């Protein structure tokens, strides 16, 4: 799939698309391909016991260089290599410990169609069987469950950051298993915020973090960390220009989305998402989300029309299409909200009763 903002026809591919153990050739198709070949690693992973994250003020953070080796030492015991058996063979990806009860977070596309899943916390560690609790294809998030008593040395949940405090230019650190090389750490910065990528079911994931930390096939589902070792997102996709390796443009689903999604999956195994029923684009240089197509009953019944510029949703100002996508995610099917649109030079307020998002996005 082509990115809508790329000037050189970049293709989005899964950054850690399950790496097929038996394949020998990497496929760069710009799609959710589960047959990428994975390299076998013989490098040992650090297994030192984590210590508490150092506290720091924003004033001092600029003066203290990020110690990536310290972060790796503390955090890597909570990052998992995920092995999957599905109808196409064997594949792999990354994941991380969300909770001390044995909850593991990864990408939906890593475990989609899995017949058997296991996790491993060090290269020499024993595989631990994992149950797929459920998934949300609309955000590309999946939840696994393991028996925490089977983790040698004890299970190590990672600390979570706050998406609202992330800024472009701040350090970003990725840990995962690119090409099957477990325990690989790379670093860079947060390149941009508020990006959009396409989910496995064709819907748009909004509010995405862009980073230049190297992310490759096998990193999917692994954590993107800040300079204290807290998780700021799940590494999910990369942009390419003809190959399937890192080009300095990677994308991570933000941690606040994870915080919203994981408890719902743990409770119900899935999420019924609210649906407005429109496709939109930015209204730049002005604020708002331009309605490109009306695709469903909620928008049709409310009277939304192509060309409308949505400037407010449920009392929340809308500056971009990404803002609108994030705002809809905060509501539930059946909720009635007020949507303010700019139409023919004047503003109108429409009452919209949100529907339930279909399993896959409409094409065209």
Active site residues: 109, 140, 220
Q: Is the dihedral of CA 251, 254, 255, 257 positive or negative?
A: negative
Name beta bridge partners: 317.
312
> Distance between CA atoms of 314 and 108, rounded to whole angstroms?
29
Tokens of 98: 């969300």
Asked if the peptide bond before residue 104 counts as cis, ω within 30 degrees of 0, the response is: no
> Distance between CA atoms of 92 and 78, rounded to whole angstroms?
17
Q: What are the φ and ψ backbone dihedral angles of 141, each rounded to 5 degrees?
A: -120, 135
Let me know: does 233 contact 254? Beta carbons within 8 Å: yes
What are the C-alpha distances in Å from 201 to residues 15, 61, 134, 207?
Answer: 17, 39, 15, 17
Which letter does DSSP use for residue 295 in this model?
Answer: -
Which letter does DSSP use for residue 2 in this model?
Answer: B
What are the C-alpha distances in Å from 252 to residues 13, 93, 133, 198, 258?
Answer: 12, 15, 22, 12, 11
**Tokens 């909620």 identify what position?**
298
Residue 89 burial (CB count, 10 A): 14
Element (H, E) at 195: strand 184-198
**Within the chain, how many helices (H) and strands (E) appear?**
6, 23
47: burial class by Cβ within 10 Å (0-12, 13-18, 19+)? middle
Q: What is the largest CA-CA distance in the chain?
A: 66
């Amino acid at each position: 799939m082509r990115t809508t903002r790329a000037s050189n026809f970049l293709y989005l591919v899964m950054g850690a698309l399950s790496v097929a153990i038996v394949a020998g050739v990497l496929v760069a198709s710009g799609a959710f391909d589960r047959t990428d070949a994975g390299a076998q690693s013989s490098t040992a992973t650090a297994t030192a016991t984590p210590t508490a994250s150092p506290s720091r003020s924003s004033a001092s953070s600029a003066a203290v260089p990020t110690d990536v080796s310290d972060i790796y030492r503390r955090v890597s015991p909570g990052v998992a290599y995920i092995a999957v058996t599905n109808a196409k063979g064997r594949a792999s990806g990354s994941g991380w410990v969300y909770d001390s009860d044995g909850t593991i977070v990864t990408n939906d596309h890593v475990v989609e169609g899995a017949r058997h899943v296991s996790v491993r916390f060090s290269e020499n560690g024993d595989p631990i069987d994992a149950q797929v609790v459920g998934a949300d294809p609309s955000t590309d998030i999946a939840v696994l469950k393991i028996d925490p008593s089977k983790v040698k040395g004890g299970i190590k949940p990672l600390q979570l950051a706050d998406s609202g405090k992330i800024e472009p230019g701040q350090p970003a650190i990725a840990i995962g298993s690119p090409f099957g090389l477990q325990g690989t750490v790379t670093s860079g910065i947060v390149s941009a915020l508020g990006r959009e990528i396409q989910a496995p079911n064709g819907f748009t994931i909004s509010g995405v973090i862009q980073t230049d930390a190297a992310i490759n096939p096998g990193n999917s589902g692994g954590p993107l960390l800040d300079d204290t070792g807290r998780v700021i997102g799940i590494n999910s996709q990369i942009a390419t220009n003809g190959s399937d390796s890192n080009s300095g443009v990677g994308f991570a689903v933000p941690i606040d989305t994870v915080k919203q999604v994981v408890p719902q999956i743990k409770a119900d195994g899935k999420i019924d998402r609210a649906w407005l029923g429109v496709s939109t684009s930015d209204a730049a240089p002005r604020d708002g989300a331009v309605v490109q197509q009306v695709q469903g009953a909620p928008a049709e019944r409310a009277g939304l029309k192509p060309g409308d510029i949505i400037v407010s949703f449920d009392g929340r100002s809308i500056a971009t299409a990404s803002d609108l996508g994030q705002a809809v995610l905060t509501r539930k099917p059946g909720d009635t909200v007020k949507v303010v649109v700019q139409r023919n030079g004047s503003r109108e307020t429409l009452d919209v009763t949100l529907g339930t998002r279909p399993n896959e996005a409409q094409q065209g």
